[in-house]
């Protein structure tokens, strides 16, 4: 069992994370498009409060000032608006809107960082010592899935679509499923680094020697 690897966990969780992120974004924005009738506070989208307490909402906002691209890419950009030429509002920067004011430059920068991160995770996961660590593969799989989910948005939409919003005791920036995968994967990675010793670093138990013990020398007369 020493040669058993968990790369399948890395790939499976990456695929599940990417799929869940994209499916949720497309479906939520299509659901809350509401035939172009917008009733939220900004007047650019719609929101749905989750009971009880009304402290969390699903929100989808749209950007009438940014035209979609032409061709096949336009279909990916406007599917949620049922074919209407309306783009979703996106975050060009990172979490908390870092760098968002730079728009194109910020999106290109974070897209490049995402590509480098995805490559680094794949290289790390291909190492035989890392692939034997189940917890590590789970963490890296979640991080990879989240990275690819937001990277897709940056390539197709020029920014990241967000729709989950907590506004209870404090105002939290709008986020998405990919962000959840990234945060959970990173936390698991930190926990493993602090509290667990990788199996590859555990010294193997000393095995008894199979060689016969040497006979003591005897003095011949």
Residues 167, 56 contacting (CB under 8 angstroms)? yes
Cα–Cα distance, 34 to 176 (Å, whole number) = 20
3, 40, 49, 179: which one is catalytic? 179
Q: Residue 3 catalytic? A: no
Residues 102, 92 contacting (CB under 8 angstroms)? yes
Listing DSSP states for 17-51 in one string gives: HHHHHHHHHHHHHHHTTGGG---STTSSEEEEEET
Q: How far is CA 41 from CA 29, 44, 64, 157, in A?
A: 17, 8, 16, 24
Q: Which residues are catalytic?
A: 162, 179
């Amino acid at each position: 069992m020493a040669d058993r690897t968990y790369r399948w966990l890395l790939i499976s969780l990456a695929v599940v994370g990417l799929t869940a992120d994209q499916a949720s974004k497309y479906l939520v924005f299509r659901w809350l498009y509401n035939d172009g009738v917008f009733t939220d506070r900004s007047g650019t989208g719609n929101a749905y409060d989750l009971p009880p307490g009304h402290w969390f909402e699903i929100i989808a906002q749209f950007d009438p000032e940014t035209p979609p691209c032409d061709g096949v890419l336009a279909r990916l950009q406007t599917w949620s608006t049922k074919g209407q030429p309306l783009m979703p509002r996106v975050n060009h920067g990172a979490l908390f809107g870092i760098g968002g004011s730079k728009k194109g430059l910020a999106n290109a920068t974070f897209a490049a960082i995402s590509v480098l991160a995805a490559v680094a995770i794949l290289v790390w996961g291909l190492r035989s010592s890392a692939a034997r660590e189940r917890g590590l593969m789970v963490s890296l799989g979640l991080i990879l899935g989240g990275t690819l989910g937001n990277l897709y948005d940056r390539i197709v939409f020029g920014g990241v679509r967000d729709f989950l919003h907590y506004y209870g005791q404090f105002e939290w920036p709008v986020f998405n499923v990919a962000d959840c995968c990234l945060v959970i994967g990173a936390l698991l990675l930190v926990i493993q680094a602090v509290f667990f010793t990788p199996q590859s670093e555990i010294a193997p138990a000393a095995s008894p020697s199979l060689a016969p013990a040497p006979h003591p020398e005897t003095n011949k007369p």
